[in-house]
Amino acid sequence: MEQVALARPATVPAKVDEQLCFALYAASKALTAAYRRGLAELSLTYPQYLTMLAVWERDGRSVADLGSAVDLDSGTLSPLLRRLEQAGLIRRVRSTHDERVVHIFVTDRGRELEPRAAAVRARVEAATGLSADEFVQVRSMLHRLRSTVLDALPHL
C-alpha cells in the first residue's frame, strides 16, 4: 500500500483544519444538516431517509441486506424500521422459506414519499455547488477512501 506524504512531520503539532478527518467530519455535518431541514417536512430523520432510499432502490430486500446497504447494525436498524412501519411507509414480512429472514417492502404511502424525498436530495445536491463531474468525482473518491481505510483497519 502506498503511503501518503504528510503535510507536516508527525512531530509537529497538527492543526485541526489541516486534518482530512476534520474536513470529512465538517462536510458530513453540513450535508446532514442540509438534509435534516428538508427531511423534517417529510417527517423523516436522515438515517430513515437513507433506509427508505435503499428500500426504494430494491423493494423486498432482507433486513440483513438493508443493514449492509446503509451501513447500520441491527441494533440501530430494528427500531428505525419499527418507526417507519408505524408511520405506514414500509411493511415487514417474515420469509416463508426461513423464519429468521425478514423482508422490507414499501407501502403505497412510502412510495408516494419518494418524489418528495428526491426533491430534497436535488436541493441539497445543488447546494453543494459542485458540477456534475465534480459531484461524481468527489463521491467516487469518498467511496474509495472508505474502502481503503476499512481494508487498512486490521493493520493500524
pLDDT of res. 120? 97
pLDDT of res. 24? 95
pLDDT of res. 14? 82
pLDDT of res. 99? 87
List, for residues 82-112, the tens digit of each pLDDT value: 999 999 999 999 988 888 999 999 999 999 9
DSSP code per residue over 46-61: HHHHHHHHHHHHSTT-
Q: What is the pTM of this model?
A: 0.86
Domain 22-155: top CATH class: mainly alpha
